[in-house]
Amino acid sequence: MREQYRTTELSVADLAPEPIAQFTRWFKDVANSPAIHEPNAMVVSTATPDGRPSSRTVLLKHYDEAGFVFYTNYASRKGGELAANPHISLLFPWHPLARQVIVTGRASRTGRDETVAYFRTRPHGSQLGAWASHQSSVIESRDELLARYAELAARYPADEQVPVPPEWGGFRVVPDTVEFWQGHENRLHDRLRYVRAEDGGAGDGAPDGAGAWRVERLSP
């Protein structure tokens, strides 16, 4: 099975000076596309110190010049792996638009104030779910999970504030590279990758004002 992508060319001249601005351009496109159900869904890949990888789909909750932020249980598999090995990859698979964004970098925990502020914006049921699920741990059945949730719902009705679980919080991914992939027919895709320049200067081929980023074109 193979699809022939028919899209416009992505050139270095088309890019924003730095990757977050370019991500914002593409994110607006996918957010306005009815073909994309959850534009902020991303595949988060982590690994143990000895290199055993794992991946899962997570929702991006915030991004800015400081990085990409998501939230999880720190005792989960990804939380444990990031505690031991902070290297991480994010993949945004926007297939209906023949686009992908791939981020590599390092993850660090967000501050507690930032975590609490975000937790307060979550629906009441999601707040309870953060307590009910001991993420990645083995359970006997779904009934066990539902019973735990029901107990929490009785303890914290909708008009009461749910405390933030101590083991729950955010990770901010500071990118080292950000690749923008645009699919084309005959597998001649465009792959343009921002790389953080060690010398702090703009590399050859980078847009004017790229600052600490240079741009590479990768063979598909």
Active site residues: 187
Q: Rounded distance, CA 154 to CA 119, Å?
A: 20
Chain position carrying tokens 């306005």: 32
Can you state the angle between helices 124-132 and 142-155, rounded to 10 degrees? 130
* Burial status of residue 177 (CB atoms within 10 A of its CB: 0-12, 13-18, 19 or more): middle
CA of 163: how far to CAs of 107, 113, 124, 128, 155, in Å?
25, 13, 11, 9, 11
Q: What count of other Cβ atoms lies within 10 Å of the Cβ of residue 171?
A: 24
Listing DSSP states for 28-59 in one string gives HHHHT-TT-S-TTEEEEEEE-TT--EEEEEEE
